[in-house]
Chains A and B, each alone.
Chain A
Amino acid sequence: MKYLDEYRDGNVASKIVDEMRRVQTRPWVLMEVCGGQTHSIVKNGIDHLLPEGVELVHGPGCPVCVTPLEMIDKAHAIARGHDVIFCSFGDMLRVPGSDGDLFTIKSQGGDVRIVYSPLDCLKIARASPGKQVVFFAIGFETTAPANAMLAWRAREEQVNNLSLLVSHVLVPPALEAILQSPENRVQGFLGPGHVCAVMGYSEYDPISARFNVPIVVTGFEPLDILHGTLMTIQQLEEGRSTVENQYSRVLDRVGNLPAQTLIKKVFEVGDRKWRGIGNIPMSGYRLRGEFARHDAEKLFNVASIATLEPEICISGEILRGIKKPHDCPAFGTLCSPQHPLGATMVSAEGACAAYYAYGRHLKPQGADTLHQISQGAVAHVAGGSISVNRERA
């Protein structure tokens, strides 16, 4: 870890927070979009380091969380089929549907396999010509290049026993849905770094302009999040609303053009349901017509599966930044990572699961806890990155 030492400076976090205090004149509500950012914020107690009146609410950017229950049930119906090898990223296996999870199906004799890369499914399909190999293609824009390549290669190589159950979601339409809600509280966004590594960030310009909100594309390390928060507050205090890039050491405005090209060849934008939120128009990818032969929703008889989500769960309001996990009567009692009722508890990147994992269901965040968390965050921040802050501070 030779590079850690030169970036070790425990004062940087407090300098950023001091600068926030200096520029802030009124309360602001910001949303971090990415589930990785949420996890980092809760683990490091970054929200408790911020000046009073600067509130972070947690956004919908956890792909496992927002995959609708209905799609999970469709996946399970397919995975239970004879002659099916059902492939998925590991995170999806323990997400409960209406009746158990993929682990349950595996224990009951279903051929369910964890894959690291979507391309693994091509190897499995070529080796198993008598089976239907189905891949659960979930994710945000970060995952789309990988899933697009699987569909593209399946068609090119005519691997006709391979199909994709696609449940892909997009960040910009979700931000618009949040901002259009009459209950919206969000005044600025920390944009998702690795999503923008693929897509660039020019597509956020119209949203920022139309709704007068700053959007600062931000990394997920503690200092990144503090710095992105400061940049957003600076815009708000100055009455500006533009798209800025805090994470310039990793991404640029353009993104990854070869990836974007293949995504467009394979996917088209369509309406998509989000777990906890419901349908958002033009908010997801689906396979283009040329890939119908590899579209599991068309190949398997699952169109009629429709599932309602538990009424008590408030994950939809949490995903839109209207409520926090503590506002839910089921949080930590009826609902836990072992028995999740809804979207934000099903994955470690969900707000409720992150709050639960770091003990926030046990007691209110009193002064002592706050102090401990803050100390921990400063210690952690000391090992983080400050390169961007040095350039810009």
Chain B
Amino acid sequence: MCLAIPGKVVDTFEQRGLRMAKVQFGGIVRETCLEYVPETKIGEYVLVHVGFAISRVDEAEAERTYQALMDLDQLTELESPVVEEMEPGGDRR
């Protein structure tokens, strides 16, 4: 879990004052915090670790790194459950 995964920024938005993005990793899109690379624009590639972009990379590097992580079976964190925003008391689990 010490490796960051590259993905493509497909949307940016603000959530409770935090700069956020939707980032695409292969067929999976995950919410990602952009506070640490705030200058990132839609269409650019970022290295994402546990939901936070930590640096920007170019497309070629992103594709190579993604493939290398897939070979190492290091993409499973992307399959973690999605937690939606809920009203207080709305968590019925």
Chain A interfacial positions (CB closer than 8 Å to B): 1-4, 7, 34-36, 39-40, 43, 61-64, 89-91, 111, 113-120, 123-124, 126-130, 139-140, 142-143, 145-146, 149, 153, 157, 192, 194-195, 197-198, 220-221, 249-251, 256, 258-259, 262, 347-349, 380, 383-385, 387
Contact = CB atoms under 8 A, between A and B. Distances in A.
A89 B1 contact: yes
Given A124-B83, A127-B89, A249-B61, A157 B16 contact: yes
Contacts, number: 174
A189 B39 CA distance: 33
B84 A349 contact: no
Nearest to A252: B55
Contacts of A39: 72, 74
B83 A120 contact: yes
Interface of B (DSSP majority class): loop
Interface residues of B, number: 51
Given A4-B67, A145-B52, A259-B54, A124 B91 contact: yes
B73 interface: yes
Contacts of A127: 85-91
Nearest to B71: A380
Contacts of B77: 89-91, 116
B4 to A, nearest CB: 5
Contact of B55 (A118, A129, A157, A256): A256
A59 to B, nearest CB: 11
B44 interface: no
Interface in B32-70: 32-33, 35-38, 47, 49-52, 54-55, 57-61, 63-65, 67-68
